Each structure stands twice: as C-alpha cells, then as structure tokens.
Structure 1
C-alpha cells in the first residue's frame, strides 16, 4: 500500500510544491517539506465526492460545521486524553493560521513570547507578524527543555509560552510530567500557553500522548491547542486545522476577535468534511501509514548510524529526522553539496527554518516509499 508503485510521480510533479517534486529539476529526490508522497485515503476521496453530489456548496456555520467540531473533539478525547466538547473547537484554515491567530490574540506589540530553540520557523514568524518579541528557550538534541533557562526568560513583558508537541524537528513527545511542569510555571506567572499538536497522531512505539490542556487544571485554564490534518492524512492542499480551548468564554472571544463570526473569515465546508471523514473513516489507512513510517524511521536511523557523514537522532514521533553533520560543513553548505553532487534536496538546520540552535544539522523527511528513501540516503552518503 505504501510502495513505489503506490506513488503517482506525475501527479506529484504537477501538484507537490513547497520545495518538493513540482519545484525541483528532473532527477532530484526531495526529502524536504513534511508532506507525504502518497495519495490521500480513498475514504477521504469518496467523502468529498459524496458531499458535492447534490450540487450544493453553501455557507456553513462560521466557527465550523457540527460534524467537524464533533469529530475533532472526539478524536482528542479518545486518542490524546483530552476533555473537549464540540463547542471547544474552532475550524481554521490550517494549524499555521491557528498559531498566528493565537499570537495576535495574546500579544500586543513589544509583548514577549518564549519559544523553543530549535523549533519550526512558524513559531517565530507568528510572533514577529504581530509585533511581539521572541525569547528562545534551548532544548537539547533529544528535545529536553532547559527549565532553568525557561524561568529566567520570564519578565513582566512575557505573555506566552509556546510548545511544539511532538517536537518538529526533533521528534520528542513530551511526558505528562514535563507538561505539568510547563503548566505550573505558566500559572505562577499568569502566562498563556500555546501547544502545537499537529504531529500528535504520528507517534511511534505506542508511546502515550497527552494533549496539553488535559494534564492539570492550570493547563486547562489558560491555553490554546493547535491541530491540523496535513501530516496525518496528506491533505495539506485543503488548508484545514483547528484551534481548541477548554474555556468557552475565551474561545468565543477569540472567535469574535479573529473574525470567525462572519463571512470575513471561515473555512471551506469541503475541507471540513474531508477532515471529518478522515477522522471517522480513514484510521485503518492511517494505521498502515504509521506502520510504514515507523519502518522508514528505523531504516533511516540504521543507514545514517552506519555512515561517516551524519549522526542521526531517533525520533519518538513525526516523520522527520534531524541528524547532526559530522564533517566541518555548516548546514547551508551541506545542503548545497548534497543537492549538487547527490541530487537530493533536504532542509538545512539554519536559523531561518528552525532557529539558532539548529545549526550543524539537516532535516530529512521520510514520508515516502522505502525505495525512494533508500535511494535518497544512499545518494547523500555517496556524494562525499
């Protein structure tokens, strides 16, 4: 089901943008943007077709259609130890938009937000976009948070702590104990917490996942959770995500101030139907996909561990690796070298993409076939 034969390369070359097949010269293997090379499940495809058969694409409720809100709440409650009602869910146009809207809601210009370093660039970009000031809290190569440093960064201008769980690009799943510690620090200083949980389905070795707001009363009181469907179900082009918040008054105010109470904002009903069908009917497909990803993770880790080029981490979640470069090249130089000499595109661990703490690493996406992954890794190693 997830072999080379299952990948439609012609479709990818027409449609897969964001540094992938549609943007690169013929013959280059993209192990870049975190987007699967496989088609979405047939259940999602059929769900979309069924929905439009009667010929109507009318306005939906501005905050999200009932099926969507119900399926997201149930998904979090059954799979992530959540405690959400459908009303606690707001449909947004992607997890990325959710992050921006939360930053806009919580921060005034010059207010400060603490984000992890390294972490995906969207955390910094969201804060920058609303005139906030970023403070970086280091995590080690395993994703462990330096809590002493975190506390030292807090001052009267601090309003927000943002966490990425599971962590992109390090693949760390934060334990309930760690999340409780974050909630205690946030509560002691009356701070908001945003937890980006877009990767929370793609977790290996049956490791437990706890959605942030469920770990304590303090966590529930003053937090937003961000979720999306692009990683789990391969529907990035539908631009569908959710913001969840246990405090209904806060979410209602957030919805109002984010213009999701009128036709100014709102999400395609078709995208919401696809997401609902994904949760309700595509989980068997996803379980096979997850099994394939775990095999790819193990393969990539073993291959790179045996190389003299890169020292890999073993992610607990996500479908990306973040290996350390073993020669003296910096991230940008290494990336250029493997593109030119190995015909493989990877993401440099540069400040632009992941923050200052990412230097000396590259990110490799492995949500492709075993054949493509093996060829890509082999090319990287042999390019030196």
Structure 2
C-alpha cells in the first residue's frame, strides 16, 4: 500500500505543542514550526483501526506490560537491528527520559558525576541536574564537516571526575551521527576499563538514512550487554510521542529489578492501554509505512541540501546519517545565538531549535525538523531565503 505524506493534517491538530500552540509559545503569528521532534504525518489507517477497536472495548483500567507486548518489542528489535533480545529483559516506562531519570537514580548516588557528549539533546543536562548529580561534558569534535567522539578528552574527564555513568545518544540528536561499530567498540573499551554504566538513548534507532547502519550499543561486547541500559520507543518512528510509551532493555536480572523498583517509586511503572495497543500495532504492522516515511524524509533532506547550496549558501547543512532532524551551521552570518534565533523567527517567520539548547558547542547552529510535508519545507525555505536576501543588504 502506498501512503500519502503530502496530505495536510496540522490544521486539525488540537492542543499540540508543535502547531496549534506554536504561535502562543513563540509569541509570534503565522510561523512555520520546524522545531519540536515530532512528525506532521498521520499514522496508517490499519494502525488507527486497531487503536479504535481497543477504544471500542470501553474499559481503560490500570494496565501492565504484557508478555505479548514484550515479545513484539523483542521481535522488532531483533529483526530491525540484528540483535537477539530476551523478552524478559524488556521493561516499560512512560518515555525515554523517565527511563533515563530512573536509571540515574537507580545506579548512581547524589553527587556522582554523569557524562554527556555535547551538543546533545537538552533534557540530558537537565535530568542530571534534577537528580542532584554533577554534569560532566565530553564535547564532540567537529572536523571537516563531521562530528566525532573525542576519546582522549573522555578518558581525561573520567580520570579527573571519577564519573560513574555516561548518557549516550545513539543515533545522535541533534548532529545526526549514526555511530559506527568501531566508534562504539572504542567507547565500550573505555567505559569497561573505568567501570562506567552506559545509558543509551536509542529512540531514533529506526530512523536511519540510506547507506548507514545502526548498531545497538550493547552489541559491542558481552560485557556491555550486561552493563548497559538501552532505551527504545515507537514515539519518533511512528509519530506517537504524545502516547508516552517506551521500552527499556536491561539484560542483567539484578539491574533490571533495581530499575523497575525505581520506576515504581517514581509512580511510572503503569502503562496506558491505548499507548500499548498503538505501540504493539506499529511494531507488528507498521514497517511498510515506516520505510516509505523514511524515503520521504530522505527526499526532504535532499531537497534542503540542494536548496541551501543554490539559494542560501550561507547556511551549511551538516551531513545527516540518521533521525529526521538536521543540524545547520549558520556561523558565517556572524549573529550571536539569540540574534540568529530571533532573526529566523521574526524576519522569516520560521521556528527552529536554537543550537545553544544543546550545549554551548551548539552556538551558531540550528536544528530543523524534516518530518514535514514538502510544501511546508518549500515555504519555510522561501521565507528564510527572502529574509537572508534582506540581511545581505
């Protein structure tokens, strides 16, 4: 079945942060929102029909993760990422960040150091602070238009701070890197030597662009398979972030019990019956839709690359290997971060993510969402081009 990703839906959205509440959030009218990480695409009708059937049952009591759903999740990861998953290692949490928070609380102590690799998803730094841990940054290196891990700096930071945990973004949001097996193996060797626990946010694992291959972090070694926490979710892959569902893979039985106990203490162990049905259905029958969606997104990224090269050469697209989020270097404009963000918002009427949200290393960059209709992207780029033409004068 062919799916239509050019169909317009956002005018019917209710109470959504990205569209219906965007003008209020940005205090600006008539903006095109290409910021928050959700798609503008409607789920395929076959998944919607399953969710409707669940709603028609009419009973929505307290819901727990079932063995059936665990099996579906394990099969999806095994098939999609060539990794054998024991379904008993699958845990539920109401989102990846609640799982990251519970992991920090369960496996470190207040005052312990936790490492993140900036520029990175903003809530990483917030969750470390909110759990009374100390943040340590291991900035990525931007070399020849590509981001790489700085392993020498990582070793230095571990030795200086006695860090206990590393939060890995795999694939990386916002820079779009799909970490190679060699890179992850080198990372695994370091954290094994210094006995760090890795919590790997793999929420974008299903959104890998052509010619690239995702490697689940725990595959790098037998040791890492026992000493890592893997966070997966259908929320980005199938545009269901509002359903608050994620699945955490912890192979070590004792670690898994500790993690689940912390979720219970945080009152985050209960599932949503509609969310579980949507997730289960997506993993069972949604792969064809996902593949077509990825092709469409890749087409958008290609269109963006060509448009910038031809019409707005001041903006440099960082090569994207995964996710539907792109990272754009705007430093040649000579604007500071606030000036850049407000220039795009006020002059172009396009809302993006301010690069500084991801750490000070993001200054001069913006993050832009490509999971939109081509018509939306075209209009946004035309607005930006017009604004920059005025700026050139």
Q: TM-score range by the shorter chain?
A: over 0.9
Q: Residue 62 of structure 2 contacts residue 271 of structure 2 at CA under 8 Å; is this kept in 1?
A: no
Match of 2:324 among 319, 333, 336: 319
Q: Structure 1 119/217 Cα, relative in aligned 2: closer, same or farther at 3 Å?
A: same
How much does 1:258 deviate? 2.2
Q: Say whether 1:275 aligns with 2:279.
A: yes
Cα deviation per residue 1:112-150 (whole Å; 9 max; x = unaligned)? 011101000111111111111111111134231000000
Match of residue 107 from structure 2: 106
Q: Say whether 1:91 aligns with 2:97.
A: no
Q: Structure 1 263/66 Cα, relative in aligned 2: closer, same or farther at 3 Å?
A: farther
Given the two structures, how large is their TM-score scaled by the length of structure 2? 0.91
Match of 2:384 among 370, 380, 383: 380
How much does 1:301 deviate? 1.6
Match of residue 215 from structure 1: 220
Structure 1 residue ranges, 4+ long, deviating more than 4 angstroms after superposition: none
Cα deviation per residue 1:338-377 (whole Å; 9 max; x = unaligned)? 1111111111111xx2011111101111110111101101
SS in 2 for 1:334: helix
Q: Residue 349 of structure 1 contacts residue 363 of structure 1 at CA under 8 Å; is this kept in 2?
A: yes
Q: Say whether 1:234 aligns with 2:239.
A: yes
Q: Say whether 1:371 aligns with 2:372.
A: no
Q: Structure 1 105/143 Cα, relative in aligned 2: closer, same or farther at 3 Å?
A: farther
Root-mean-square deviation (CA, aligned residues, Å) is 1.7
Quick one: distance in 2 between partners of 1:195 and 1:204? 20
Q: Say whether 1:335 aligns with 2:334.
A: no
Q: Residue 62 of structure 2 contacts residue 270 of structure 2 at CA under 8 Å; is this kept in 1?
A: no
Q: Structure 2 stretches of 5 or more lacking a match?
A: 389-393
Match of 2:42 among 39, 43, 61: 39
How much does 1:51 deviate? 1.8
How much does 1:264 deviate? 6.5
Match of residue 33 from structure 2: 30
Q: Residue 44 of structure 1 contacts residue 274 of structure 1 at CA under 8 Å; is this kept in 2?
A: yes
Given the two structures, how large is their TM-score scaled by the length of structure 1? 0.93
Q: Say whether 1:55 aligns with 2:55.
A: no
Cα deviation per residue 1:46-88 (whole Å; 9 max; x = unaligned)? 1111223332223333xx1223211111111111122211111
Match of 1:164 among 169, 173, 176: 169
Quick one: distance in 2 between partners of 1:264 and 1:348? 30
Q: Residue 65 of structure 1 contacts residue 272 of structure 1 at CA under 8 Å; is this kept in 2?
A: no
Quick one: distance in 2 between partners of 1:98 and 1:252? 13
Q: Structure 1 139/255 Cα, relative in aligned 2: closer, same or farther at 3 Å?
A: same
Q: Residue 166 of structure 1 contacts residue 172 of structure 1 at CA under 8 Å; is this kept in 2?
A: yes
Q: Structure 1 2/134 Cα, relative in aligned 2: closer, same or farther at 3 Å?
A: farther
Q: Residue 163 of structure 1 contacts residue 196 of structure 1 at CA under 8 Å; is this kept in 2?
A: yes
Match of residue 80 from structure 1: 81
Cα deviation per residue 1:162-202 (whole Å; 9 max; x = unaligned)? 11011000110011111111111111111100111000111
Quick one: distance in 2 between partners of 1:360 and 1:173? 22
SS in 2 for 1:246: coil
Match of residue 200 from structure 2: 195
Match of residue 348 from structure 1: 354
Quick one: distance in 2 between partners of 1:21 and 1:345? 13
Match of residue 245 from structure 1: 250
Q: Residue 32 of structure 1 contacts residue 346 of structure 1 at CA under 8 Å; is this kept in 2?
A: yes
Cα deviation per residue 1:186-239 (whole Å; 9 max; x = unaligned)? 111111001110001111114221111112112112100111222110111111
Match of 1:295 among 273, 286, 299: 299
Q: Residue 31 of structure 2 contacts residue 351 of structure 2 at CA under 8 Å; is this kept in 1?
A: yes
Quick one: distance in 1 between partners of 2:46 and 2:125? 36
Q: Residue 41 of structure 1 contacts residue 233 of structure 1 at CA under 8 Å; is this kept in 2?
A: no
How much does 1:3 deviate? 4.4
